[in-house]
Structure 1
Amino acid sequence: MSLVLKLRSERAELNTQLQELAKLEAGGTNLSAEQLTQFTELETQITALSAKISRAEIAERAAAAAAVPVDEGAAGIASPPAGRVEGPYGKPAAGAGMAQMVRLLAQAQGNQMYAAELAKQGGFDQGVQMALSTVTPGAGGVLVPENFSTEVIESLRPKSIVRKMGTRSLPLNNGNLTMPRISGNTAVTYIGTEEDIPVTGMTFADTQLSGKKAAALVPISNDLIRNAGVNPRVDQLVANDLFTSMGLSEDLHFIRSDGGSGKLPKGLRYWALPGNVIDAPATPTLAQIDLFLGGMMLRVEAANGDMAGCGWLMAPRTLRWLQSLRDGNGNKAYPEIETGYLKGYPVGLSNQIPTTLGAGGNESEIYFANFADMMIGEDMDLVIDFSKEASYKDAGGNVVSAFQRDQTLVRVIAKHDFGPRHVEVIVVATKVTWGAGM
């Protein structure tokens, strides 16, 4: 750490203590003699540090002026500047600002002022510098600016299969969103001359979404953070880890969460009407499979669903089994699977759809739905926090110490909810054992 940064950090800590005393007095509390003495001492120390900082800055500028320029950006030799992680067509990669903010705050262990100084010295984009300089830290972490959080939400689309299938994203107003839906259509009839027009009308119901707190933990190697100055792809790695973790968490809840106790979003499985949850045939012939899949589609068509927005969700095991099916001539039964479609509709694969359901522990599920009718209510506030000492559980349920692994644990907290405008356009096939022996 440079001398200037160290002195500024010390001054910031002293200023925090000074402001606490000032707030007491402003709130009507008379400062004690000891507190008045402390206030005077803090003021003197801050003044002395300010003078030291000025001299140190002069020394650093003189050293910089005497230095020999080197063609090296903050992201490494002959690489783009640290504030410009390049995406397609030379544009900054989506989510790069958020990733840089996370990396700098992790490097500064949550010290916002130090992170802002690192961004300034590293030549980061002005947006990143401003974000770190102006956001307000809270008890739960640092609030991500809305322009960065919007980028994150858009970048989640290819990571979350539910979003990728075309689910609409809508903002939550004060954490809530109520969407009216037509539950009964107007009856249109023809009438003769001088006959009264029958009184008819639509019937309505509401879909109500409210912000549910979702938290994702992302361990980042401290070696990666230390080497950030010479690795131009560090920010993209951080962004990918963040978006993948958040996307998997969303899919887990948007597909199969039961919405228990109102704390969790309710997923497709539990939004579906009981009559639209049907058991798959256990050992079907090709004709029975085709008839069953067509029956799932028919249920959405019978509900007047917009078939243009429909698609399938299933576990990879199920799709690979369907892909292996052959007709009597040895031809692939569903050749379009190679292009990502099944019976004319796109297929989304997710390991968040389990293959261990049922008494035998070998059942899965298939979903067919109109995803254009699905909604994700988004609270645009994202909060991030950091720790080098915390522990977490890995995919195998083992407790891992971030300190022992030399990692920094990043916690991302978001609020959102999931629901359909029309529950009739969700069909779920259960007890799917297809491919269990693969």
Structure 2
Amino acid sequence: MSQVLKLRSERGQLNDELQALAKLDASETLSAEQLARFTELEGQITALTDRIARAEAAERAAAASAVPVQEGAQGIQGPPDTIEGPHSPKPVAGAKVAQMVRLLAATQGNQQMAAQMAREGGFGADVAMALNTVTPGAGGVLVPENFSTELIELLKPKSVVRAMGCRTLPLNNGNLTLPRIRKGTTVHYIGADTDIPVTGMQFADLKLSAKTLAAIVPIANDLIAYAGVSPRVDEHVVLDVTESISLAEDLHFLRSPGGDILPKGTRFWAHASNLVPAPVKDDLQSVELFLSAILLRLEGANAHMASPGWVMAPRTRRWLASLRDGNGNKVYPELDQKMLKGYPVGITTQIPINLGDKGDESEIHFVDFGDCYIGEGDGMVINFSSEATYKDADGEVVSAFQRNQTLIRVIAKHDFGPRHIESVAIGTGVRWGVEL
């Protein structure tokens, strides 16, 4: 046990005795001996409080100056926790965030105690140092930037929108303005002694402002109670956190109408002329004309086509993949490799299949994601509760206390938008695959 914890335990015992005397004094007059003891206890508690403050300051200084054991005499340091034997498990990406989550959840947000557990449990000097030095905010504990950046990188293969090639930029002070050319110059050939025509560019701006995303992640207390460093446990925590964040991001980056608190998704960024209704017929010719019309919206607007791609629901992709021509051959065999007409296909359940008057329609998004930007706000904030409730996938209210879980609330700030709205086209009213 650390010196700080020992002193706190001693102070707690003295405080219990002091409180007992205080309750006794409320009902009867204390004797001279009891009054002397009360005064003595007050002095001892005050002295212990001063000692605890000094011990905590010493621990913070020790953590700040700690040198990982991997550092050699010349100061060349390898990655933390990577000294491995032939059978040693390798650390997983995002492990530091998972370890912070587990330690803070186990101590209900007590950073000093979590830092002590990190040092004694072999979690690494960088984790202990982060827990000692980060400043708790009103909404929870701020994840250090280098830790949260690693977690954001893990979102790329999970979030369809990120995986399709969106660009990310920092939101300085929560805001970012990107100018764009709305109308280009007109170029002419001219003859001798002819004035060059005066032309100009028209500009518009893409303005991104930080929107707050809050994801609730329930984690079993059995995992949190596992005090040791375990890649399997850390991987499970990271998987749950990134899965929750990526689903929330895709839902809003694709389908959110936008506003003061919500980012605007591609469906609502699309210009009205870039909304292409699906044909009533589902024969091959109609399907081909429909897909070509969507492509033409971007090609005809001279979109940059830096990283274009399709995003659709699993039902839509399965139906297209099952289409056969008159000879029984697949019409779009490239869909088995998640490609369509030469462009990548992203599959997500965040594209609904219950749209339209009858609740059986879906959409196909075709977007130049290389022309889309995600503005990233400051580092993530995490908070904890073992008593709160949440709704599961079926909408049922679940008690974390009853399920022996701890709820991890992850707060991130970002915004999304295309630099040119001509880079977004949406196929609407897609009923293909309803019978599947």
TM-score of Structure 1 vs Structure 2, range by shorter chain: 0.7 to 0.9
What are the Cα deviations for residues 109-135 of structure 1, in whole angstroms up to 9, with x where unaligned?
111001000110112222211110100
Alpha-carbon deviation of 1:278?
1.8
Quote the residue 1:106 is aligned against.
Answer: 105
1:3-402 alignment to 2 at 5 Å?
A: 4=3, 6-7=5-6, 10=9, 42-46=45-49, 83=81, 92-229=91-228, 231-260=230-259, 262-402=260-400
| Partner AA of 2:386 in structure 1 | K
What are the Cα deviations for residues 4-36 of structure 1, in whole angstroms up to 9, with x where unaligned?
56425558999xxxxxxxxxxxxxxxxxxxxx9
Distance verdict in 2 for CA 1:307–1:10, change over 3 Å:
same
Equivalent residues, number: 385
Distance verdict in 2 for CA 1:361–1:38, change over 3 Å:
farther
Distance verdict in 2 for CA 1:334–1:9, change over 3 Å:
farther
Distance 1:11 1:212 in 2: 46
Quote the residue 2:64 is aligned against.
Answer: none
Alpha-carbon deviation of 1:255?
0.3
Distance verdict in 2 for CA 1:207–1:11, change over 3 Å:
farther
> Which consecutive residues of structure 1, in runs of 5 or more, have no partner in the other structure?
15-35, 54-80
Distance 1:345 1:8 in 2: 64
Alpha-carbon deviation of 1:38?
10
Distance 1:318 1:431 in 2: 11
| Partner AA of 2:332 in structure 1 | Y
Query: Is the CA contact 1:94–1:151 (under 8 Å) kept in the aligned structure 2?
Result: yes
Alpha-carbon deviation of 1:307?
2.3
**RMSD of Structure 2 on Structure 1 (CA):** 2.7
Alpha-carbon deviation of 1:99?
1.1
Query: Is the CA contact 2:100–2:127 (under 8 Å) kept in the aligned structure 1?
Result: yes
Secondary structure of 1:307's partner?
coil
Quote the residue 1:32 is aligned against.
Answer: none
Secondary structure of 2:193's partner?
coil
Distance verdict in 2 for CA 1:145–1:372, change over 3 Å:
same
Alpha-carbon deviation of 1:96?
1.5
Deviates more, 1:393-402 or 1:41-50: 41-50
Query: Is the CA contact 1:98–1:152 (under 8 Å) kept in the aligned structure 2?
Result: yes
Query: Is the CA contact 1:313–1:367 (under 8 Å) kept in the aligned structure 2?
Result: yes
What are the Cα deviations for residues 348-373 of structure 1, in whole angstroms up to 9, with x where unaligned?
00101110111111100000010000
**Under a length normalisation based on structure 1, what TM-score does the superposition of the two structures give?**
0.83
| Partner AA of 1:407 in structure 2 | Q
Distance 1:207 1:330 in 2: 47
Secondary structure of 1:192's partner?
coil
What are the Cα deviations for residues 394-420 of structure 1, in whole angstroms up to 9, with x where unaligned?
111110000000001000001111111
Q: Share of identical aligned residues, percent?
A: 57
> Which consecutive residues of structure 2, in runs of 5 or more, have no partner in the other structure?
14-38, 57-78
Distance 2:164 2:293 in 1: 21
Query: Is the CA contact 1:218–1:245 (under 8 Å) kept in the aligned structure 2?
Result: yes
Quote the residue 2:416 is aligned against.
Answer: 418
Distance 1:185 1:12 in 2: 73
